[in-house]
Chain A
Amino acid sequence: MHDAHVQPRPLGGRILTVPVAILTVLTLVGFYYIAKRYFFGIGAVANVNPGYPWGIWVAFDVIVGPAIGCGGFAMALLTYVLNQGKYHPIMRPALLGGLFGYTLAGVAVMIDLGRYFNSMNLLLPWHLNTNSIMLETALCVMAYVAVLWIEFSPAFLERFGLSKLRKTLERFMFVIIALGVLLPTMHQSALGTILAVNESKLSPLWWTQLLPVLYLISAVAMGYSVVAFEATLVSRGFRLKSELPLLSSIGRIILWLVVAFMFIRIGVIVLNGNLGLAFESTRAALLFWVETFLFGAAIVLLSTDRLRRTERYIFLSACALLLGGTFYRLDSYLLVYTGSPGWRYFPSVPELMITIGLVSLHVLLFILFCKLLPVLSNPPRQAAEAHAS
């Protein structure tokens, strides 16, 4: 897999396109409200309250964000741990997605924490509460963000021709890659553990002692899905040759992950005798069926070899799975989570705009990095077609 055409290179082209302009405006709006939050406090922009001390910033930016950013982790698992070198071409864009997913989750935490400056205590060992599951989550995210930047740094070094430094880095890269697999495993499961200690606040349709396992499996499945999602959209958007053959084989992995996830998820509910809750007319039951439908759709769309080799169904299954995983996290952290009875929560406009701004920044940076740095390695479609014909 070291042919000339798999060597990543910057896409180049015009920087200021219509999507870039729109994303920039949305990002600026988000940052206006972020500035407001730092000058006037969280209460001035967010609807979080004593009953719902965490809102959409945590549930979406911090919990869903890293799961969508799991592409780098999932692909590293495949490329390096299972030594499947053929996936190298989609490794770097996957890393890039993870890079921003995790970094912006870290940024979102700093926006969400009332006394964000106290987070420096996380770096002072004598202040650590080693019994806290939050501590593991925080330290893993911080370490993994650093690891991701180092893992991605060859793109910078190649771009600026620092080949000597790159060679030096190459010698230690295996340690970084190993950490890049270990840390998300700990962190993604820890996000489930946070809920596992909150049994009384969660419907039995979600709560189980196996929440860490379910969170990890679904995060890996979402990681592969985001790779498939990203790769299909990037090849279309930038008019590059499709990575479909690689995505098809990933599709098989996704299928088995989702099947395992659903088997454990539904199995636990049935074994605990809680299936009846799914047939009550409650919000929890409705959301449970929305999730089940989305995960089920992903399974159906990936079920046969023929479907897995079709771009449209790979894309749709990735969408279904990403949505399902997003719902699974939003439901368990916000929509069916009852902090204190009597309280209600709906995100405010400024709160939403901050999240939208961060997501826009994510996409914006992804596009700019692809244009300016060696990230993508698939050849332009016309060249490929010319080559083919």
Chain B
Amino acid sequence: MLLASLLRANGSHSLPATESTIGGMNRREFAKFCAGVAATMGLPQAAGLRMAEAAATQARPPVIWLHGQECTGCTESLLRAEHPTLESLILDLISLEYHETLCAGAGHQAEAHKQKIMQENKGKYILVTEGGTPTKDNGIFCKVGGKTQVEQVREAAEGAAAIIAIGSCASWGGIQSADPNPTGAKPTQDIVPGKVVVNIPGCPPNPYNFISTVLYLLTFNKPPELDEKNRPKFAYGRLIHENCERRPHFDAGRFALEFGDLGHRQGWCLYKIGCKGPETSANCPAIGFGDVGFGSWPVGTGHPCFGCTEKGTAFHKPIHSLATVKTLTPPTAFPTVEGAKGWPADPAAVAILAGIGGALVGAGAVAASRMRGTPADDDDTSHPKS
């Protein structure tokens, strides 16, 4: 009934044989991929091998994926993952049992399957919430199968081994939680207080931050190290400002002052047009988006960071407002954007030019003074031809 179930025949469940593949990767490639994941998470190389083994040998954990108040951008983002691809993630690494966007089944059938999986795998499945949860007026603003989102989340969280909140909406409430927050939208953590919710914020989050977290959970049966806002430290441990490729421009005082101005066209720092990089923690500058190489993230393409991974920044602060710089406040006396560039006039060059000018005027004046000041004909009349 599920896409996953329909395609299951296609995927292989165990790794060991050399010819068997995981997500289109052979054993060697998959081991390398896991080593890469481990490296980006700051784990020792051996952890990569353990991840590869865990993913290959352990039964794939069922995943229940709930959609609340959101745009499905997080799922869209996940669709664009290349290593591994979404299908190898949901067919080989996890068993995606319920996902309203990707479900092959629908209606009561889908809801019944969800209930079945939750009962059969109590305490073993992973719950992923995408989207905020409305709480005002008993949460009537978002209902699936007759149940409000609050009920859905609480019910699914009850038997979950781990809860992951993907995206800014599930992590902080997202755009619908911005003032005046008409639906009383809240993050998943607020709906299930007392439970550990791993937040993968971003609008959308980088799919690899999600995949890496899932692999870590599979391998070590515990969430990766989290910061005070329950974000995995490997991905959200540093400010964007710290790894930004435009940081040297910030330090040198070269700022874009408006879109399309000289500084903006030159690729200078976007702080003064509202970049929230200095107060936002994420690994965007390091890993980029879309697997297309360096610079493929908002600041890299010339738009200020709007702080989607930071609580209280995106959707709460205007895009154009200045970020609160947490590391170093720029001094007021930076060099100006329009400072003189190029070389000043060399006195010798000025002297040569002045000399040429003087010589030309002088020579011209002398030549002219020696010439006849009266028409040649007057002269001819005074010297009649013989």
Contacts and interface: CB of A to CB of B under 8 A. Distances in A.
A346 B343 CA distance: 7
Contacts of A137: none
Interface of A: 47, 49-52, 232-233, 236, 242, 244-245, 306, 309-312, 315-316, 319, 340-349, 351-353, 356, 388-389
B371 interface: yes
Contact of B352 (A51, A52, A316, A349): A349
A242 B370 CA distance: 14
B341 A51 contact: yes
A344 B343 CA distance: 7
Given A310-B375, A345-B342, A236 B262 contact: no
A182 to B, nearest CB: 33
**Which 5 A-B pairs rank lowest in CB-CB distance, beginning with the nearest?**
A309-B375, A346-B345, A312-B371, A344-B342, A311-B371
B344 interface: yes
A173 to B, nearest CB: 33
A134 to B, nearest CB: 23
B383 interface: yes
A310 B373 contact: yes
16 contacts: A51-B341, A51-B342, A310-B376, A311-B376, A315-B364, A319-B364, A343-B341, A344-B342, A346-B346, A347-B349, A348-B346, A351-B349, A352-B349, A352-B352, A356-B352, A388-B386
B373 A344 contact: no
A87 to B, nearest CB: 18
Interface in B329-386: 337-346, 348-350, 352-353, 356, 364, 367-377, 383, 385-386
A309 B341 contact: no
Nearest to B336: A342
B349 A340 contact: no
Nearest to B351: A349
Nearest to A49: B342
A37 B369 CA distance: 41
Contact of B349 (A52, A233, A342, A349): A349
A342 B346 contact: no
Given A52-B342, A346-B346, 8 more contacts: A49-B343, A312-B371, A315-B364, A344-B341, A344-B344, A345-B342, A348-B343, A348-B346
Contacts of A348: 343, 346, 349
Contacts of A342: 262, 337-341
Contacts of A347: 349, 353
A353 B213 CA distance: 67
A309 B356 CA distance: 30
B368 A244 contact: no
Contact of B367 (A236, A306, A343, A356): A236
B377 A309 contact: yes
A232 B340 CA distance: 45
A325 to B, nearest CB: 14
Nearest to A351: B349
A346 B383 contact: no
A344 B349 contact: no
B373 A312 contact: yes
Q: Which of B262, B338, B372, B385 has the most CB of A within 10 A?
A: B372
Contacts of A232: 367, 371
A327 to B, nearest CB: 12
B262 A344 contact: no
B353 to A, nearest CB: 7
Contacts of B339: 342
B386 A389 contact: yes
Contact of B342 (A306, A312, A343): A343
Contacts of A242: 376
A389 B379 CA distance: 13
A245 B376 contact: yes
A353 B348 CA distance: 11
Given A311-B376, A352-B352, A388-B385, A340 B345 contact: no
Contacts of A50: 341
Interface in B96-110: none
Contacts of A352: 349, 352-353
Contact of A236 (B342, B350, B370): B370
A151 to B, nearest CB: 29
A341 B338 contact: yes
B180 to A, nearest CB: 44
Contact of B375 (A47, A306, A319): A306
Q: Which of B352, B374, B376, B383 has the most CB of A within 10 A?
A: B376
Contacts of A49: 341-343
Contacts of B377: 309
A312 B365 CA distance: 10
A50 B342 CA distance: 8
A47 B371 contact: no
A348 to B, nearest CB: 6
Contact of A244 (B369, B376, B383): B376
A330 to B, nearest CB: 11
